[in-house]
Chain A
């Protein structure tokens, strides 16, 4: 009995650790997409946050500076995305993808100059990591997002510019500014997700260490139908699947390959069958052009 209890406890904490980067990135993405901007760049933003946090911590010795650096990096990349998509009206998917590719290249370039390595930073001591703070923030962000989205003026405006930007503009709301805010918040949150990866869960940055988590976060966002609590659940479910997969491996005679595809099969099944119709914000992906009212 005791060992069963321990197992569930370890499964639970493992689920939390594996879900945290997903929750932060997906809820970040929610702010951008609710305002009408597809944030394909989540993966790139996470990489930027992770790399900057590890680098700054390696130089200053303090994870708090690393945290600040990671958040700033997330903001910068998000600002780039916002500028291209909102001000220049570039294709949002193409811009996001370009940013993701860019962020595969930039960390190795910088780490080459700083540490003579290609994309990895020196290992940090255990005292130089922040293993719990991001988990707590991730769990708090969901209710906060619900409140912001449905109980505040800002939330109303955010949803308005994502559904019918023309009406919002007529009512005197600056579509450009609200969308900028949405994308910047997503930069902060996804950046924090990256910070957790490099100096929370781990103690260094390695090349492309997000390993597709930004895209899984996007899937969770769609799976969760752009609703905060459902997105949170979706991320926890993905984390749980991964944690279960880790514990199933090696304990049964089923080959590793089969056990490792569980999360992916699960994703396909839920996306294809069980969630019903997902309804994205109406103006998602469409740049707002003032003259075309």
Chain B
């Protein structure tokens, strides 16, 4: 069998080549500056949503602060650890993991490199050198749920989630609670694109789910589905109904068809943690972002102002104040799991 070993070598070469490409290996060129490595989620930095928001924050930091910024897009779960390790081995001062999926990997790597700083978005890693940047998505989802219920004429609204995981259930539960807060009889249809990470990258499926919901009578659909959510906007335009964006302000994606966006300021969290490391103020543990520090908000701009009436706005603002003061409790799906 002459072919066996040769094929093996070829595969190995292909693997090494792939890993080198996937991890964006570039030499350190600017000595003395703070080095920041950011590892994106499976969706990649151009999802116009969660990862895009993180990238915005990192880019802003690069513009305003003296740092060297490198990023890696693993593309698939097996590449997460090599990408993160590549940064750690080269002694990056701050390594940021984007997304809950990187929790276990980041915990392993951070334990082996206790002298480096790490940050993770959407997960909690209990190590002194890790800052866990978590968001109170349920509160923001509650507010957009209120807006959805008020904007709905049919008394039916929808939710399209990406991957069926507790974090996305957290969005769904808050959304439903908010809708019921203003209309106890409202019907909420809930669908998920998938149960694997491919669910973040399947706009065709996202669109089919949204179309099915619109055809079943829903007239506002909230999407929390990464790239698949783009399909929800397309469906809203086709059916002349409304959609709600997520994570980044997505009101601009289909003006007139996006009621609002549940904004999760991942950009602020990423920018802040970079700044804190630079100024020597890094602290491990939980960094919570919610309505009170504008880490979570609903988006209002020129694109959606015609869709949101004054009375809707007053009602939502009142609820926002109440949640901040603790007078109104929104169920945190993930807290209930533990």
Q: Is the CB of A249 within 8 A of B46?
A: no
Cα–Cα, bound, A249→B158 (Å) = 12
Which residue in chain A gives the minimum CB-CB distance to B231? A202
> Would you give the shortest CB distance from A146 to chain B, in whole angstroms?
28
Q: Give bound CA distance, A203 to B18, whole Å.
A: 29
Q: How far is the CA of A206 from the CA of B201 in the complex (A)?
A: 7
Contacts A126-B237, A202-B234: A250 and B189 contacting too (C-beta < 8 A)? Answer: yes
Instruction: Contact check, B230 vs A206: say whether CB atoms are below 8 A apart.
Output: yes
In the complex, chain B residues 136-190 whose Cβ is within 8 Å of any chain A Cβ = 164, 189-190
Question: Beta-carbon contacts of A95-118 to B below 8 Å, as 1s and 0s?
Answer: 000000100110010000001011
Residue numbers in A under 8 Å from B129 (CB-CB): none
B-contact 0/1 string along A1-27, CB 8 Å cutoff: 000001100100010011000000000
Q: Please report the total number of B residues contacting A with Cβ < 8 Å.
A: 37
Given known A-B contacts A14-B211, A123-B253, A201 and B204 have beta carbons under 8 A apart: yes
Smallest Cβ distance from B84 to chain A, in angstroms?
A: 17
- A208: chain B residues within 8 A (beta carbon): 198, 201
Min CB distance, A209 to chain B, in Å? 6
Min Cβ gap B75→A in Å is 7
Indicate whether B276 reaches chain A with its CB closer than 8 angstroms: no
Residue of A nearest to B204 (CB): A201
Closest-CB distance, A133 to chain B (whole angstroms) = 16
Residue B50 at the A interface, CB < 8 A? no
Residue of A nearest to B46 (CB): A117
Task: List B residues 174-229 near A (Cβ within 8 Å).
Answer: 189-192, 194-195, 198, 201-205, 207-209, 211-212, 215, 227
Q: A209-B203, A249-B192 are in contact. Are A203 and B208 (CB under 8 A)?
A: no
| In the complex with contacts A120-B46, A202-B234, A209-B201, A256-B195 CB distance below 8 A | yes
Name the residue among B47, B234, B238 with the largest chain A CB count within 10 angstroms: B234
Nearest-Cβ distance from residue A236 to partner chain B, whole angstroms: 15
Taking the closest CB of chain A, its distance from the CB of B151, in whole angstroms, is: 21
Cβ distance A114 to chain B, nearest Cβ, rounded Å: 12
Judged by a CB distance under 8 angstroms, whether A207 is at the interface is: yes
Contact of B212 among A14, A108, A115, A260 (CB under 8 A): A14
Within 8 A of B (CB), among A116-172: 117-120, 123, 126
Task: Give per-residue flags for B245-286: 1 if the beta carbon is below 8 A from chain A beta carbons, else 0.
Answer: 000000001000000000000000000000000000000000
Chain A residues whose C-beta falls within 8 Å of the C-beta of B18 in the assembled complex: 105
User: Of B46, B191, B209, which one neighbours A119 at CB under 8 angstroms?
Assistant: B46
A197 to B204, CA, bound (A): 7
Measured CB to CB, the closest approach of chain B to A16, in angstroms, equals: 11
With A120-B44, A203-B230, A203-B234 in contact, is A246–B195 under 8 Å at CB?
no
Q: Of all chain B residues, which has the CB nearest A131?
A: B238
Query: A260 CA to B208 CA in the complex, in Å?
Result: 14
CB pair A207–B164 under 8 Å, yes or no, is no
- B328 interfacial by beta-carbon distance below 8 Å: no
Instruction: For the complex formed, measure the closest distance between the CB of A1 and the CB atoms of chain B, giving whole angstroms.
Output: 16
B residues apposed to A, CB below 8 Å: 14, 18, 21, 44-48, 73, 75, 164, 189-192, 194-195, 198, 201-205, 207-209, 211-212, 215, 227, 230-231, 233-234, 237-238, 253
Residues of A within 8 A of B (CB): 6-7, 10, 14, 17-18, 101, 104-105, 108, 115, 117-120, 123, 126, 197, 201-204, 206-209, 211-212, 242-243, 246-247, 249-250, 256-257, 260
In the complex, the 10 A-B pairs of residues with the closest C-beta atoms, listed nearest first: A117-B46, A10-B215, A206-B227, A120-B46, A202-B203, A250-B190, A118-B44, A201-B204, A256-B164, A249-B191
Known: A105-B18, A120-B46, A246-B191. 14 other contacts (CB 8 A): A10-B212, A18-B204, A108-B73, A117-B45, A119-B46, A126-B237, A202-B230, A206-B47, A207-B44, A209-B204, A246-B212, A247-B212, A249-B209, A250-B189
